Amino acid sequence: MIDQSGIGTVIQEVVPRLLAAPHHFVLLGDPEKLANYVSDHTEAMSFQNPIYSIGEQISFPRRLLRGTDVLLCPHYNIPVSTFSRIVVIVHDLAHLVLPQFFSGMAKRLYAHLFFRVVLRNAAMIVSPSEFTRKEILTHVRVAPKRVITILNGPGRSFGPPVDMSVDRLARYDVVLPYILAVGNVKPHKNLEILLKAFFLVKKAADPSLKLVITGQTFESDRAKVRFLGSSCEQLRAEDVVLTGRVSDEDMGTLYHNASLHVVPSLYEGFGLTPLEAVRFGTLPLVADAAALSEVVDDPDLRFDPKDPKDLANKIIKFLREPELLHKKLSEQRRRMERFSWDTAAKAYLRLLENVGVNNKGN
């Protein structure tokens, strides 16, 4: 999971900070990807079964639990066992709340099954936002004291890009000006509304504007975007660029050169990309939905996720009023101070130590 966008970001940012504590750690995953974390008090153990598979349950090293004080699971696919000193991170309840958007009965059944396992086995459940905490308490029968919120930090620590010039992005067929969307092409990401709004903006404000969608994509995803875009008359294939996965260095450059970053998603348990955009000097516009409204709490930067005209009007307003755009960006930079990976890691460490000590006999 360390390579995944949302969960992987939390792992990459929190784990190195936890390892600074004077404890012995065992990391489960691909030893090659975990090699940089290994030290005299940290070891890596191979555990590489696909997520949501029977294999990950069969091959989980349960013998390891006999000498373990506490187990941190970065997702709700926790091991089925009698071990109860488990802290599990539930990033969102999308599989439960939006089953119509997730293909495959097996994954939906898996989600329902393992939420029951989480309830039975986990000592504490961590949510990345108050929205997700409320979702957990609404949809799952669990004592409120067992669910706490630890806010994520401000996205991935890309480090400074080697080159901020848009020329660096030529390999992705990206040219100025463009609006940036980051993520996959799943139905709840609501790309149809974004494409319709983008078409309205091109007609009313800037015919040269491009829409850049970055993230892991497959040919089926490209076909889906072409199909959604075909509902917008006169929207040409070259107006929408799907970059596929982008390196961290290039991602910073993509954010920096975008006119705006738009997040049209109907459901997010947190919302890392708006914070990443702000760090690189780009204003985010987000759907007024789920945890996005919590991460970006300025109503001027939120839009109705079911109304492409509302989104188009917001985009046009900020494209035409650069002074207002820079004012809002400065405000968002100040508000970002409440999101810190250092603060998050300290909260996780306190929680792990408390669970490990207070539940030692279980």
Amino acid at 36: N
Q: At what angle do helices 6-18 and 341-358 cross, to 10 degrees?
A: 70
pLDDT of residue 333: 96
| pLDDT classification of 318: cutoffs 50, 70, 90 | very high
159 band by pLDDT with thresholds 50, 70 and 90: low
Q: What is the mean pLDDT of residues 239-245?
A: 88
Asked if 339 and 152 touch (Cβ cutoff 8 Å), the reply is: yes
Residue 237 pLDDT greater than 80, yes or no: no
pTM (two decimals): 0.90
Q: How confident is the model at residue 16 (pLDDT cuts 50, 70, 90)?
A: very high
3-state SS string for 298-342: CHHHEECCCCHHHHHHHHHHHHHCHHHHHHHHHHHHHHHHHCCHH
Tell me the per-residue pLDDT of 255-308, one tens digit each, with 9 for 90 and over.
999 999 999 999 999 999 999 999 999 999 999 999 999 999 999 999 999 999
Query: What are the structural domains of the chain?
Result: 6-153+340-358 (3.40.50.2000), 166-337 (3.40.50.2000)
Share of the chain above pLDDT 90, in %: 60
% of the chain with per-residue pLDDT over 70: 89
Instruction: Take residue 17 and report the two structure tokens written for it.
Output: 């900070």
Give one DSSP letter per residue of 218-279, joined into a string: -HHHHHHHHHHHTTSTT--GGGEEEEES--HHHHHHHHHH-SEEEE--S--SS-HHHHHHHH
Q: What's the whole-number average pLDDT of the chain?
A: 88
